[in-house]
Amino acid sequence: MFKRMLLSTGAGAALVLAACENPVERPDCTPMFNTLKETRGDTVVTTTGLRYIETTAGTGETVVSCRGAAVSLRGTFLDGSEFQPSVGYRFTPGLHQLVAGFEQGVIGMRVGGTRRVIVPPELAYGTVDVKDNAGKVVIPANSTVVFDIGALAVE
């Protein structure tokens, strides 16, 4: 069962500010924001259409744009079927190394925390089928995908 996360206007502002704290100067990095639009029960909806549920609040450093992060991730579809088994991954939000919804979804997480991020097609893989090396479709076009993410470290 997911823990309920209550957000006030002040907490929503903290989500925006978290994206700006101490970004590393990188000319190739685009600052990313995770701006609150509304909450629906325990689900946060951002202005880009991304949705997420904070399943465990972390207590460590905050993941921010343009600064490296280590995360665990598992990718599924809305029906729960898996397309990406649980793996560890290092990346920098804002360098466009992963789909936009994933990179936006980690902004504001704290190390030790977990989050379920629901990514609409326009922030995920869009209108193109994603195929494996054998040519089999792994993620159909226009799919909403779900990432279960754990924030492991901020670098």
Given 3-state DSSP classes, what are the helix, strand and coil percentages for the chain, each rounded to the nearest 5?
A: 15, 35, 50
What fold characterizes domain 9-154? Chitinase A; domain 3 (3.10.50)
- pLDDT for the residue numbered 3: 26
* Run of H or E including 98: none
* pLDDT given at position 96: 92
16: three-class secondary structure by DSSP = helix
d(C-alpha 73, C-alpha 149), whole Å: 5
pLDDT at position 13 is 31
Averaged pLDDT, groups of 10, the chain, 155 residues long: 27 35 66 88 95 96 95 97 94 94 96 98 96 95 98 96
Instruction: Write 132-140 long-range contacts (CB < 8 A, 24+).
Output: 138/83, 139/83
What does the DSSP assignment read for 104-141? Answer: HHHTT-BTT-EEEEEE-GGGTTTTS-EE-TTS-EEE-T
For the record, the structure tokens of 133 come out as 């090396």
Q: Is-contact 15 109, C-beta < 8 A?
A: no
| Domain locations in the chain as residue ranges | 9-154
Kindly give the residue spans of alpha helices, DSSP state H, lying in the chain: 9-18, 100-106
What pLDDT was estimated at residue 32?
Answer: 83
